Amino acid sequence: AQSVTQLDSHVSVSEGTPVLLRCNYSSSYSPSLFWYVQHPNKGLQLLLKYTSAATLVKGINGFEAEFKKSETSFHLTKPSAHMSDAAEYFCVVRGAGNMLTFGGGTRLMVKP
């Protein structure tokens, strides 16, 4: 069995300040991990993915995430938030049988 927990349903930051979206997972299999972003009225877009290579993964739009096996975490970060980063973010784990499990989502709000 596998599961994903996004620890914050809402995160609010000021433009230009760092972003941290937290994700913890559980899996009895060596997982692949992903972060997706969903802007209002749009589909899901892949930000980055971890597939057992480098533990620090760089994605699009300045986002990156670090896989920490000891902490079973895959937190998403960005040094400086932009207004266009306001969206819903999903952490996803892919385990045995290629099953995808999504976290509950984190809504990121960026204040001017």
Binding site for another protein (CB under 8 A): 6, 32, 34, 43-44, 46, 49, 51, 90, 94, 97-105
CB of 91 to another protein, least distance (A): 9
| 77/64 Cα distance (integer angstroms) | 5
Measured from the CB atom, the residue of 22 and 49 that comes closer to another protein is 49
CB of 5 to another protein, least distance (A): 10
Measured from the CB atom, the residue of 32 and 77 that comes closer to another protein is 32
Considering only CA atoms, give the Rg of the chain: 13
DSSP H or E segment with residue 107: strand 106-111
Residue 88's DSSP bridge partners are: 38, 107
Measured from the CB atom, the residue of 43 and 112 that comes closer to another protein is 43
CB neighbours of residue 45 within 10 Å = 13
